[in-house]
Amino acid sequence: MHTSLLSEASLALTADLNAYYDAFADHHHLLFRDWRAAVQRESAALRRLLRKHNVRNALDGSATVGLHAIALALNAVTVTALCPTQLMLDRAHQNAAQFALREDITFVRADLPTLCESIADTFDLAVLKGGTLTHRLTDEAIYAALSHLHALIRPEGALIIGLPAFDLLLEDRPRLVPRHVHDNLPDGRAILFDVYDWQLTEPLSVLHSTYVVAEKDGAIITTRFGALQRALRRTELENLLRAAGFKTLSAEVSGWELQVIAQRA
C-alpha cells in the first residue's frame, strides 16, 4: 500500500472533496480527445431514453463543468444542474455558452449531501454520471445520496447512473491505464493516463489518479488529480438502489463504464 498517496487522498477527500473538483476544473476537457464531440455523442446516446421516458425536465446531479447538462439541453429538455464549487459553476456557464445554451440550463452550486436543501422541483429524470456516486465511500453515504434523488424524481421517473465498471476492473486490479495524447494544444502536447492504487479497506476502495503530462514553454509539467473512490460492484449498487426505492431497468457495461438505468418505484 502506498501510505503517502492514501494519506494525501484521504486529506483532500474527507476534509474538502471540493478541492479535488477545483483542481480538475481547468483540465476536465483534456479527459476527452474532443470535448465538443463528446457532448454531441452523449446527447445522441440520451435521445432514445429521453423519448422512451417522456422526459421534459431533468436534474444533472453530476454537472461538474456541464457535459451531461449540455447534452440533455441539446435534446430540448429543461435542465437543472448541480456544480459542487464556484469554479466548476463558472466553467459550466462558459461551456454552455459555447453551445448557445447558457440561458437554457439552470446551474446551481450544490452537491449530493445538500441536494434537497438546494432543489425543490420534481424531475422526470435524474442523471448521476462520471463516477460522482463512488466518491461516497460508505453504504450509508451512497444510500443517502440515492434517497435525496428519489425525493426529487416523480413517480415512475428514471435515474441514470454512470460509474467505473468495477466488476471488470477488480478482475485484474490494473495499476496503469493509458488514456490518450493531445498533439495540438497551444503550448505543445499532453499525455494522459490513470493510476489505480487499490486500498486494503472495507468496503473496498481505490485511489484513482489521473496524470496530465504537458509541455509548456519547453518544459514538462506533470499534474496529478487523485481521489478515493468506492469500488462499487453492480450488485452492491442494485441493492442500494432497491433500498432507496428504485427498481433496476437495465445495467450495461460500455468500455470502462457501467451504466445503470433505474426507475422510481
* pLDDT digit string (tens) for the chain, length 265 residues: 333 333 333 333 434 677 888 877 888 888 888 989 999 999 999 999 999 999 999 999 988 889 999 999 999 999 999 988 899 899 999 999 999 998 889 999 988 877 777 788 899 999 999 888 999 999 999 999 999 999 999 999 999 999 999 999 999 999 999 999 998 887 788 999 999 999 988 999 999 999 999 887 778 989 888 889 999 999 999 999 999 999 999 999 988 899 999 999 8
Beta-carbon neighbour count of residue 170 at 10 Å? Answer: 14
Q: Which three cell numbers stand for residue 148?
A: 435525496
Contacts 24+ apart (CB under 8 A), 218-225: 223/27, 225/20, 225/23, 225/24, 225/27
Classified as helix, coil or strand, 218 is coil
Q: Which three cell numbers stand for residue 111?
A: 452537491
Beta-carbon neighbour count of residue 9 at 10 Å? Answer: 23
CATH architecture for residues 15-164+233-264: 3-Layer(aba) Sandwich (3.40)
Strands (E), the chain: 57-60, 78-83, 105-109, 123-128, 153-164, 176-185, 188-199, 205-216, 219-230, 246-254, 257-264
User: What digits encode the pLDDT tens for the residues 127-155?
Assistant: 999 888 999 999 999 999 999 999 999 99
pTM above 0.85, yes or no: yes
φ and ψ of 147, to 5 deg:
-65, -40
